Amino acid sequence: MNNAEAVELGHRAFTPNYKQQPIAIVRGQGLYVWDADGRRYLDMLGGIATCALGHCHPEVTRAVKAQLDKIWHTSNGVYNLPSLQLAERLTQLSFGQRVFLCNSGAEANEAALKLARRFHFAAGHPERVEIVCAEGSFHGRTLGALAATGQPKYHQGVGPLPAGFSFVPYGNLDALQKAIGPKTAAVMLEAIQGEGGVRVAPNGYLAGVRKLCDEAGLLWIADEVQTGMGRTGTLWAYEQEGATPDVMTLAKALGNGLPIGAALATEKVGAALTPGTHASTFGGNAVACTAALAVLEIIERDGLLEACRDAGEYLAGRLYELRRRPAGDKIVEVRGRGLLWGLVLDREAAPVVARCRELGMIVNVAGEKVVRLAPALIVEPTQLDEAVDVLTRALA
Ligand code: PLP
């Protein structure tokens, strides 16, 4: 099947919910992917911040292949070793003391929302059910995660959504304080709003959120689905604020491309998911957990957090430079952290993204006017130069 045939089949067979680029990717290695016509692309998106070790990392592949020969899946009526080891590793590497494993970011956020409500229910406050979220946020497409998503365009035609969600401007502590009331259970926020356009909160915001939550007896749910796993230069973005959430959700890069998600919680919050209150058939799948264990090990062993910080600094410098050049006159703002960057344009980003693809590079649109870059943490400076070169030509 070539690209044209793939596109034709896609138009015929899929529900038309994605705006797909007219290529089918058939192979990937490191920072590069190849389409069905044999053309190579520099992948500056990594499956949207997912393939953080690059495509088909040989050691993750080897670990997964070995696990495939042992056991793929058990029910959660028994234990499997990779899921136990992963849960232990995640607790060693974060504030989390309890782990719920699932398959996606939305599912991790559903667990977090239930955790928050059940925590207050168990503490004798069943009235505390409301969740304060941010305008412009993105937490996923299931109804609960969607109810927490502060982008009305995603709510259209699918209501009624679960009740009890309110929205405040992202980064504004005064507005957050005013929104908190006696029925509030939790505040749910991204450390950087990725999907909403790579919006970075002002310094001190998350620490302020922690303080407000402590004062009001609320939980802070940190959605690190996109920012976690080293994307911003530390394993978890919250670390950079010296403030620790009560619940954190992960997915995307956790399995380097295999579907896996997790909700981590402190001991006292995690205890609220008592037997029978939550579950997922595939949650803790042995193959996905094996991939995640390998990813965590390689990030640490290969110093990829430092590599991310260095590469991020280099990329930021090149993007700011691009903004000052004639081709950069359409760039309104360059924003991001680590290896998650957004070029805010004075126009729709989709044509620029399409032009990048024609020129041999994959990026995507976040928030309509923003071109998002989220390459693998193993990206080389020469590849970042290549990316800036393509962006320059695409903008011109
Ligand atoms: N939360 C954040 C911050 C995300 O960026 C995303 C996906 O982009 C999600 C949740 C939803 O994750 P998934 O698509 O795996 O359900």
Distance CA 113, CA 5 (A): 42
| Residue with the two structure tokens 């071109």 | 371
- pLDDT over 70 percentage in the chain: 100
Distance CA 309, CA 256 (A): 19
Distance CA 318, CA 139 (A): 30
- Using one digit for the tens of pLDDT, what is the confidence trace for 314-324? 999 999 999 99
In DSSP notation, 173-193 reads: HHHHHHH--TTEEEEEEESEE
Residue 185's pLDDT is 98
Q: Are 219 and 186 in contact (CB under 8 A)?
A: yes
Measured from the Cα of 109, ligand 1's closest atom is: 10
Q: What would the mean pLDDT of 313-336 be, rounded to a whole number? A: 97
Burial status of residue 189 (CB atoms within 10 A of its CB: 0-12, 13-18, 19 or more): buried
In sequence order, what are the beta bridge partners of 263?
100, 249
- Using one digit for the tens of pLDDT, what is the confidence trace for 4-31? 999 999 999 999 999 999 999 999 999 9
pLDDT band at 308 (very low <50, low <70, confident <90, very high): very high
Measured from the Cα of 137, ligand 1's closest atom is: 3
Residue 225's pLDDT is 98
Pocket of ligand 1 (CB under 6 A): 104-106, 109, 138-140, 190, 194-195, 223, 225-226, 251
Measured from the Cα of 224, ligand 1's closest atom is: 3
From 95, 100, 119, 138, active-site residue: 138
Cα 162 to ligand 1 centroid, rounded to whole Å: 18
Q: Is 252 a catalytic residue?
A: yes
Q: Is 37 a catalytic residue?
A: no
pLDDT band at 350 (very low <50, low <70, confident <90, very high): very high
- Using one digit for the tens of pLDDT, what is the confidence trace for 35-54? 999 999 999 999 999 999 99
Residue 254's pLDDT is 98
- The 8-class DSSP code of residue 253 comes to G
Distance CA 293, CA 114 (A): 26
Distance CA 282, CA 286 (A): 9
Q: What would the mean pLDDT of 254-280 be, rounded to a whole number? A: 98
Rg, Å, the chain Cα set: 21
- The 8-class DSSP code of residue 108 comes to H
Q: Are 31 and 376 in contact (CB under 8 A)?
A: yes
pLDDT band at 201 (very low <50, low <70, confident <90, very high): very high
Q: Is 246 a catalytic residue?
A: no
My answer on whether omega of the bond before 16 falls inside 30° of 0, hence cis, is: no
Share the mean pLDDT of the chain.
98
Alpha helices in the chain (DSSP H): 3-13, 46-49, 58-68, 81-93, 105-122, 143-147, 173-179, 205-216, 267-270, 286-301, 304-324, 350-358, 381-395
- Using one digit for the tens of pLDDT, what is the confidence trace for 46-93? 999 999 999 999 999 999 999 999 999 999 999 999 999 999 999 999
Distances (CA, A) of 250 to 120, 187, 229, 268, 351: 23, 17, 8, 19, 31
Segment 200-206 long-range contacts (CB within 8 Å, at least 24 positions apart): 200/335, 200/336, 200/337, 201/170, 201/171, 202/171, 203/241, 204/241, 205/171, 205/173, 205/241, 206/238, 206/241, 206/243
Residue 375's pLDDT is 98
**Phi, psi values for residue 341, rounded to 5°:** -130, 150
pLDDT band at 128 (very low <50, low <70, confident <90, very high): very high
Residue 31's pLDDT is 98
Report pTM.
Answer: 0.98
pLDDT band at 273 (very low <50, low <70, confident <90, very high): very high
- Using one digit for the tens of pLDDT, what is the confidence trace for 356-385? 999 999 999 998 999 999 999 999 999 999
Angle between helices 58-68 and 286-301 (to 10 degrees): 150
Residue 180's pLDDT is 98
